[in-house]
Amino acid sequence: MASLDVVATMMQPTYGISGVVYTDRRRDPAADAHRWLTEGYRVSPEMRQTSWQGHDMFVVTCQHAQQIRTSPGRDSAPMPASAPLEGLAMGHFFQHGPEAVQHASVSLHALNGFQRRGVSSFNDLNGSWVCVIWDRDRQVAHFVRDSVGSYRLYAMRLPGRVVFTTDLRLFRAAGFLGALDEQAVAEFLHYLYIPPPRTIARNCHAVLAGHVLTIGRDTIEQERYIGPRFVAGASLPPSSDVRREAERYLPVFEDALMTAVADCLPPAGKVVL
């Protein structure tokens, strides 16, 4: 039987982005304040972990070395910045070609675009990605997901800082997740899924796909930066045809549903709903 240490290691995420934004520079972080970040990921021999140090931010990214065209191991780098902004974009950016895996260059592109055009600039980032931007002058943090939502992204405000991660297991291991969100628990028991922006923990927010989550001193809001895109297709049939087809397939659907329910029942026993 596996030891608890082995199980804990297996539960660690192997890739993603996590970090902290210090909103109050008077609160000096403890010497081990970043331990939950630097030791939170399970770095296998083929992984690359990078620590990014900024003026008010500390971020750790962990990705497969081959995917980002670099060698495995650990390293550190300065946080991309374009005053008064600093931040990082992580993922795969198709329109930039192979060099897009260089987080610094794409991050600067995102920071400069955000300065000029605001949230609409994120439409220019084509790929699977997440982005974190800190505005030092306005004391506002922005958390962004691509329009498909390829990566999850969570953020929560703590005294003197805002923390974020692509994997809630890091928050749990760090002790950030406090009281449960009762509505989220009810939704999970009903749907086996928690619709964002709720999470299992109170005061922890999930970023919606195609949205920007903005956390300020007294405000938390999400804004869509990309609208739905409609593709022209075949014309719809008359409503009478649709009704007739629905009646035709309803028995087939009911039979498949009852078969699926029966397959979920234990060989000897009952399920209480």
How do residues 211-242 score in pLDDT, each as one tens digit? 999 999 889 999 999 876 666 666 767 877 87
Q: What is the rounded distance in angstroms from the CA atom of residue 150 to the CA atom of residue 146?
A: 7
Given a contact cutoff of 8 angstroms between Cβ atoms, the answer to whether 142 and 192 are in contact is no
> Quick check: 1 pLDDT over 60?
no
Structure tokens that stand for 137 in this block:
């002058």
Name the residue with higher pLDDT: 65 or 120: 120
Task: Write the CA distances from 219 to 42, 69, 70, 222, 226, integer angstroms.
Answer: 34, 39, 39, 10, 22
